[in-house]
Structures are given as C-alpha cells and as structure tokens.
Amino acid sequence: MTSSIAFLFPGQGSQAVGMGKELAEKHPVARQTFEEADAALDFSLSQLCFEGPEDQLRLTENTQPAILTVSVATWRVLKEHGVEPVWVAGHSLGEYSAHVATGTLSFADAVRTVRNRGRYMQEAVPVGVGAMAAIVGMETDKVQQICADASEGEVCEPANMNSPEQVVISGNKSAVERAVALATERGAKKAVLLQVSAPFHCSLMQQAQERLASDLKALQMQNPSVPVMCNVDAALVKTADASRDALIRQVTGAVRWDECVRGLIAKGAETFVEVGPGKVLWGLMRQIDRAKTSWQTSDDAALQKALQGLTGAN
C-alpha cells in the first residue's frame, strides 16, 4: 500500500441527483453518515441527494451540506478499508470535508455550518448583481491584469486558480462581463459566464464572511490529525486556530488550487484520491501533473477500482 497519499475533497459544482445512493445501499458506514446528516439538519438531506428534485439540490444552502455528506460517507468507506491519507485538501467547500476527515470538526457541526455558509453566501449579494466566469487557456497574471482593467470601480477578482489552464473570476456582473470580453479579445481559449447563484470567493462576500466567522468561533475545534493544505494560503495548517482562521478568510479569498496541489507534490505526495461526488478535481489533477497517480470515487465502480489500486487487494 502506498504511503504518500493525499485526499482531495470536491467543492460546489460536483453535485448530481442520485449521488451517494449506491454508496448508502452498499456500505452501512455510508448509510449511517446520511442518517447523521438528516438528524443534524432536521430534514431529509439523504432524500434530496438520492432523489432530488434538482432545483432544490442546486440551492447553495442544500448543495454544500449534500456534497459534504457524500464526501464524508466516501471517506469513511475508504477508512474502513484501511486507506489513510498523509495530507488532505479540499476545494472551497471541500476544505470542510477535509477537516471532518482529520477530526478538526465534528461531522454534525460541519454539516450545519456549511448549510449556514451556503445561506450566508446566497444572502450576501442580491440575485443578478454578481457573476462568475471561467477563463481557459490564459496565465493567471494575465487574468489578474484583465480583472484590474475590467473592474472600473466595481469588484472583479480571480476567485479560483484551478490549474495552469483554468482561472475562475468573480465579482459584479457587469465587471465580470467586461472581463470575459477582454479575455476573449486578448487570446483566451475560452471565456464563459458560469451558472452560479452568487459571486463566490471575492470581496462582495464580506458580509457572509463576517456571519460565518461568528459561527466558526463558537465551534469546538481540534488540531487536525494530519496536515490540511488550505485554499487561501496554499500552505499546510496543523492547529485548530489556524484551521478556523483559514476557513474564515476563505469566504472572500481566492482558492489557490493549483498551488495547493503543487505544494502537496513538493511535500512528497505521489497518489491523489478525489473523495466524493464528481470528477472535477481528478480532471484538474490531469492538467496540473499527469505523471501522478490519481483516483476518483464518483460512483461505486470507481470507488472499488480505487480501493483495489490503493490496497493491492483483488
């Protein structure tokens, strides 16, 4: 079994109706995870994950606890089979899943916190005022320059530096639209507005950050059992206080994903496992470093394949 494993936990955008259903049917520890989430939230999150409706699952305050729950359920199945990471990281919301996996946060606290986080983010900016866009095939410093040129007194900032190929920007709708036009003009392979409900990871989220900060400060947190690569600094956090601080600053701060993954590689990570729904991080991994072994666990077949590869079991 490999000893240089990093677990990567996905963020918003990886949701799909039906996620976790097969997992819960086949693995008692996964089913128990969904039951815990339902109890913590006082409504059937499991039913929303398994059956939809999609418009309800897409609401940020539902999406965030739903992805967290599927990710934690998947992590518990891996753990049950003896697969343990040396480091963990999570993309945006996924950083909460990472902290559950390392014992920084209890699962019940995390699931309630991210539901509030989703609601605060949704309420911070009126619908239609903010936007996000993906800029593909352009270096980060050029994207930063475009944001500066497009802002014209409004907010337009890099929000996710996902890979050498992809930067997502966030801010006021009109500024983001100007940036998309400029990026296209200046040679981006692709520049498209994203279907999102709010402009995440930019300074328009200040109010959400303040509301979330008081929630996080009220929580009991432990030092993580293994180092967590945090989004906002692309650095490892090893204490409860540093973990809390990184989760607070992350609301308005950019997700430095490309740097996070490269930082883990520099520490010696050889094998990367995307733990949870979808294959977004697995796809980004291929853009960041194709030479590294990477697994995804988006359905039971993929999970079984990963387990076989990670444990050497047949």
What pLDDT score does 312 carry?
78
Concerning whether 92 is annotated as a catalytic residue, the answer is: yes
The span from the CA of 266 to the CA of 288, in Å, is 13
Reading the block at residue 214, the tokens are 């008081």
Give the pLDDT confidence of 170-189 residue by residue, as tens digits: 999 999 999 999 999 999 99
Phi, psi of 56 (to 5 degrees): -75, -40
Name all domains of the chain by residue range, CATH numbers in brackets: 5-124+204-311 (3.40.366.10), 130-196 (3.30.70.250)
Active-site annotation holder among 27, 91, 99, 201? 201
pLDDT at residue 314 greater than cutoff 50: no
Give which of 13, 47, 26 is closest to 278, Cα–Cα: 13
What pLDDT score does 216 carry?
98
Give the pLDDT confidence of 240-282 residue by residue, as tens digits: 999 999 999 999 999 999 999 999 999 999 999 999 999 999 9
Give the pLDDT confidence of 124-144 residue by residue, as tens digits: 999 889 999 999 999 999 999
Identify each DSSP E strand in 18-129 by its residue range.
87-90
C-beta contacts of 268-272 below 8 A and 24+ residues apart: 268/4, 268/86, 269/4, 269/5, 269/6, 269/86, 269/87, 270/2, 270/4, 270/5, 271/2, 271/4, 271/5, 271/6, 271/295, 271/310, 272/5, 272/6, 272/8
Give the pLDDT confidence of 9-51 residue by residue, as tens digits: 999 989 999 999 999 999 999 999 999 999 999 999 999 999 9
Specify the 3-state DSSP secondary structure of 220: coil
The sign one gets for the Cα dihedral 148, 149, 155, 160 is negative
pTM score above 0.75: yes
Average pLDDT on 188-204 reads: 94
**Strands lying side by side in the sheet with 271-274:** 235-237, 228-230, 87-90, 5-9, 271-274, 293-296
Concerning whether 214 is annotated as a catalytic residue, the answer is: no
Task: Specify the residue for token string 């039971």.
Answer: 300
For residue 113, the surrounding DSSP H or E stretch is helix 107-124
Task: Specify the residue for token string 């300074």.
Answer: 203
What pLDDT score does 1 carry?
47
What pLDDT score does 2 carry?
57
Active-site annotation holder among 14, 46, 71, 92? 92
